[in-house]
Amino acid sequence: MQKRDLGKVLWIGLLFCLLTSGIAFGALGDRLLSQGSRGEEVRELQSRLIQLGYVVGPLDGIFGPKTEKGVRLFQQERGLPVDGSAGPQTLNELKLMTGESTTAGGTPIGPQNSDVNLLARLVNGEARGEPYLGQVAVAAVVLNRLTDPSFPNTIAEIIYEPRAFSCVDDGQINMAPDSSCLQAAQEAFSGNDPSQGALFFFNPAKTSNKFIWSRPQIIQIGNHIFAR
Amino acid sequence: MRNRIIAGLSVALLAVLSWGIYGYHWTQEYRLAQENQSLRSINDLAAHLDGMETSLVKSQVASGNGQRILYLSQLAMQSTAAGTDYAQLPAEATSLSYVGQFVNQVGDISSQFAYKLAGGTNLTPEEEALLTEVHNRLLSVNQTVQSLLIRVHTEELAWLKPKMTLGQRLFGGQVALADADDGKEGNATTVRSGLEQLDASLQKLPPLSYEGEYAIHEVSEALGLRSEAVISSEQAAVKARTLLNQLGIDSANLEYAGESQGDIPCFIFRQDTVYLEMTKRGGKVRFFQDTRQRDVRTWSVSNATMKAISTLTALGWPSMAVTATTDNGSSIRVECVNESQGIRYYPDKVVVEVGLDRGQIVGLNATPYWAYHHERNVEEIKLFVAEARARLRSDFKISESRLTLIAKPGNQEALCYEFRGRYGVEEYLIYLNATDGREEMIKRVILTPRGEFLQ
């Protein structure tokens, strides 16, 4: 092989390596992601969407119809143009919403959302399919218990108190919450309480427990009665 | 053929037996893990109650405030731990717990007293008497839990139901429950029934009288609606329609949907995606939400914030100041508080949500405003702002200051100077009492993806 040919082969090889490494290790936001896209960026996109409660199918790095549906819902709920593709605007918003909290000086201090996530899981387990307002009310019941002396003092202790919530007993608490449940948990944390200070809630069609029926009732939202 | 069937059945029998043994062992392991967890909780509970009792008596005998604060702080921490232990003990059903309540209140009282002593004020004779009363009750709770623990160790006391004999297990018999298992007096046959007896004995005692986070308070009526007359649902419907029209929503299909019986009783109205509660007293809006689908954002956050303020003015809240905004994506949440004569009244809060697609109000929550707003006799300011500044650390760099009225535990309020500033690279809000200069509260500013958060 002549020297010139060898040089050509080396140049082509180098170019190929640069191109493929660009695809393999491209950062989220380097290119538009849409149906048919594959790779680590898609995987990161899916992971961030799952983190916010959007259903995207398996975390496999393949931008399929379910991922597109998740992107569309995210765009709709964030007030972005809904096209099902993850372009710069969508990805910037996604990065912002899944980013870490910081101090005023800019020091990262983690997402600071463990309580919100746990509360959203409870809402998902107890009030999946209920109207949004009812979901906020269920989250608010847990927060109301925080300031009541008869209940434990942290969200985790309240939720995992034996026999306190049926979704803990049957394992539904471990299901990933959807975006509506996360939003409801956020809303309750920000102070909205449609239950008006309730400490208990129950579905009258499914509960015969005498104690729960004896509590003074405040309001019914969806299938749940909220009581003091 | 017959031999083959027998061989097949034998293999199947062996497989079933193996599966049964395997399952039995798994169950045993889980049962043991659960038993260990429960034993750990009750042992910890007993140890923490013991520690609480010791810390309390030491805090009573200590002569210096430094030592008293130390023991009261220890008591608060041990109470929190005891509450955690108690919450993890097995239970059969949800119920209110007077033991848990008592433990929480002990922690609350000790924190309050430690805070008071740290501010340089001694406890009053009534507060000293309260500590003695708490000690008496704590002694009784501690004794009961210690005896239950001894019985758990010596008699293998069951957690929830008395243990069944082999015959009862095989033939589906029932264990006869003693009176004690029904919450009545007697020798408890389970840990849970022992705790229920303790619950019943605490329930008989008068409530502990103090002002704190966990003090039992019932707000009999909303302070902001005391002077308002009770109206009918028809009158409320008229007011609801007027409100919706002011918010730019056609109210033609608005329907009465019942009543709520919370601290602020309301009439409920619904229409498609709209949910609205108008107070029975005065027909004021307590809660409004429109869950309509939102389109692409076209409004800026600053314009939406101005819309929130102008809407509040139109609805009868003319002097509201924005304290925080939260980005919800297709909407923003704007928190506003009443501000008059240079004082921000933080308890008088109204939260407004503005859709960023067309700048329409999509949510409003005025519960805190109606619950706490009232004509206040604001205490006389005895500390000038310069004097208050001088009480802060010299290296705390102040960027803003103002007079505020803040809520304190136990439905109390305090007139304070709010100083916003930096210490090192972090930002804080420090509240100094404007009458005695006491440091009432410190908030740390955190920047989250949704907005500023005070920790």
**Is B310 inside any structural domain?**
yes
Q: Where is the domain boundary, B341, B372, B403?
A: B372
Alpha-carbon dihedral sign for residues B46, B51, B54, B60 = negative
Q: Do B425 and A107 touch (CB under 8 A)?
A: yes
Asked if residue B211 belongs to a domain, the reply is no
Tokens (6 digits) for B48:
């923490």
CA atoms within 13 A on the CB side of A174: 3
Q: Is the CB of B330 less than 8 angstroms away from the CB of A78?
A: yes
Does residue B380 sit within a domain? no
- Rounded to an integer, the average pLDDT of B253-278 is 92
Query: For chain B, what is the mean pLDDT?
Result: 87
Mean pLDDT confidence for B123-135 = 92
pLDDT band at B213 (very low <50, low <70, confident <90, very high): low
Closest-CA distance of chain B to residue A33, Å: 20
Is the CB of A191 less than 8 angstroms away from the CB of B328? no
What letter does residue A87 receive in the DSSP assignment? -
Residues B83, A153: C-beta atoms closer than 8 Å: yes
Percent of chain A with pLDDT over 70: 89
Q: At what angle do helices A65-77 and A88-97 cross, to 10 degrees?
A: 70
In this complex, which of B287, B295, B447 lies closest to A102 when CB atoms are compared?
B447
Domain end marker among B170, B203, B236? B203
How far apart CA B106 and CA B53 sit, in angstroms, is 10
Domain shared by B192 and B233, yes or no: no
ipTM reported for the complex surpasses 0.90: no
Cα gap A96→B282, rounded to integer Å:
43
Could B83 and A103 be called an inter-chain contact, meaning their C-beta atoms sit closer than 8 Å? no
How large is the average pLDDT for residues B83-100?
82
Give DSSP secondary structure letters for B207-219: PP---STTS----
pLDDT for position B219: 56
In chain A, the domains with their CATH numbers are 28-93 (1.10.101.10), 114-227 (1.10.10.2520)
Q: What percent of chain B clears pLDDT 70, i.e. is strictly above it?
A: 92
For residue B422, which residues of chain A lie inside 8 Å, CB to CB? 104-105
CB contact under 8 A, B449 and A99: yes
A142's CB contacts (< 8 A; 6+ apart) are: A119, A122, A155, A158, A159, A188
The distance of B210 to chain A (nearest Cα, Å) reads 13
Q: What is the mean pLDDT of chain A?
A: 85
Q: Supply the pLDDT for residue B186.
A: 61
Same domain, B68 and B159: yes
Based on the fold, state whether residues B67 and B198 are members of the same structural domain.
yes
Q: What is the mean pLDDT of residues B115-135?
A: 90
pTM: predicted TM-score of the whole model, two decimal places = 0.81
Residue B141's nearest CA partner among B65, B79, B183, B224 is: B79
Task: Let me know whether B172 and B282 are in one domain.
Answer: no
Task: Determine the pLDDT at residue B449.
Answer: 79
Confidence of residue B446 (pLDDT cuts 50, 70, 90): confident
Q: What is the reported pLDDT for A23?
A: 46
Considering only alpha carbons, which residue of chain B is nearest residue A159?
Answer: B87
Q: In terms of domains, do B339 and B412 share one? A: no
Q: Which residue in chain A has the smallest CA separation from B428? A: A104
For residue B319, the tally of other CB atoms under 10 A from its CB is 14
Number of helices and strands in chain A (H, E): 10, 4
Query: Which of B448, B454, B455 to probe by mutation at the A interface, max A CB count within 10 Å?
Result: B448
Residues B60 and B108 in one domain: yes
Q: Which of A151, A167, A193, A199 to mutate to test the interface with B (most CBs of B within 10 A)?
A: A151
Q: Which residues of A touch B449 (CB under 8 A)?
A: 96-99, 101
Number of domains in chain B: 3
Same domain, B146 and B169: yes
**Structure confidence by residue, pLDDT tens digits, B52-83:** 999 999 999 998 899 999 999 999 999 999 99
Contact A79 B449 (CB under 8 A): no
Chain A nearest CA to B170, separation (Å): 26
- Using alpha carbons, list the distances in angstroms from residue A172 to A166, A175, B33: 8, 6, 21
Name the residue among A104, A158, A163 with its Cβ closest to that of B93: A163
Is residue B24 assigned to a domain? Answer: yes
Q: Is residue B55 in a domain?
A: yes
- CATH code (residue B449): 3.10.450
Worst-scoring range by mean pLDDT, B126-135, B178-187, B353-362, B419-428? B178-187
Nearest CA in chain A to B410: A147
Q: Smallest Cβ distance to B263: which of A77, A158, A197?
A: A197
Which domain covers residue B21, as residue numbers?
2-203
pLDDT value at residue B165: 64
In a domain, B361, yes or no: yes
User: What is the reported pLDDT for A21?
Assistant: 44
- Measured in angstroms, the CA of A46 and the nearest CA of chain B are apart by 19
Contact list in B for residue A160 (CB cut-off 8 A) is 88
Cβ contacts below 8 Å, chain A against chain B, sum to 156
B314 in a domain, yes or no?
yes
| Selected residue of B261, B300, B336, B354 to mutate for chain A interface (largest A Cβ count, 10 A) | B261
Is the same domain home to B192 and B236? no
Q: Give contacts of B329 with chain A, Cβ < 8 Å.
A: 77-79, 93, 97
